[in-house]
Amino acid sequence: MTEYLERTFVALKPDAIQRGITGQIIHRLERAGMRLVAMKMIKADDELLKEHYSEHVDKDFYEGLKNFMQEGPVVAMVWEGVNAVPNVRKIVGETAPREARPGTIRGDFAHMSFSHADEKGQAVKNLIHASGEKKEAMEEIALWFDDDEIKDYTRTDKEHVR
């Protein structure tokens, strides 16, 4: 891969799957020129979530986050593209759905605020996780996928998006 061509990790959270918008989210990433190189649906166990959210384990909200992530299956994916990490984050939108701009995944499909979630004693249902930086993406990909689960193939629009 070149300096600009990179991979990023994306997880569609249980609320995205339960609402039936998985395909629409995948379509937005494909439409932006990202190439899906790995995907699987899994039930995230305690150990996986503890590693994935290691920086949050000791925080008050972790238990609610863990419970939310275990409400149903998660669709874990690896996407590849030019500047994939920042470009996917731009498509996803702000972590706080209420702050996400229209046209982003969270801006169009999620509107819960942190204060509303806190008041209800639940995690913010924000549909999707996307790696925030290259190092984090590499770590998350390695955590969720084995090397042989990541596939290489050529898309016919490669000349136009890379």
The H or E element containing residue 38 is strand 35-42
Structure tokens at 17: 């799957």
Rounded to an integer, what is the distance from CA 159 to the centroid of its chain? 26
Write down the number of H helices and E strands in the chain. Answer: 9, 4
Whether 129 is a known active-site residue: answer: yes
Catalytic hit among 52, 111, 129, 160: 129
Q: How many CB atoms lie within 10 A of CB 30?
A: 15
Distance, first Cα to last Cα, the chain = 11
Active site residues: 129
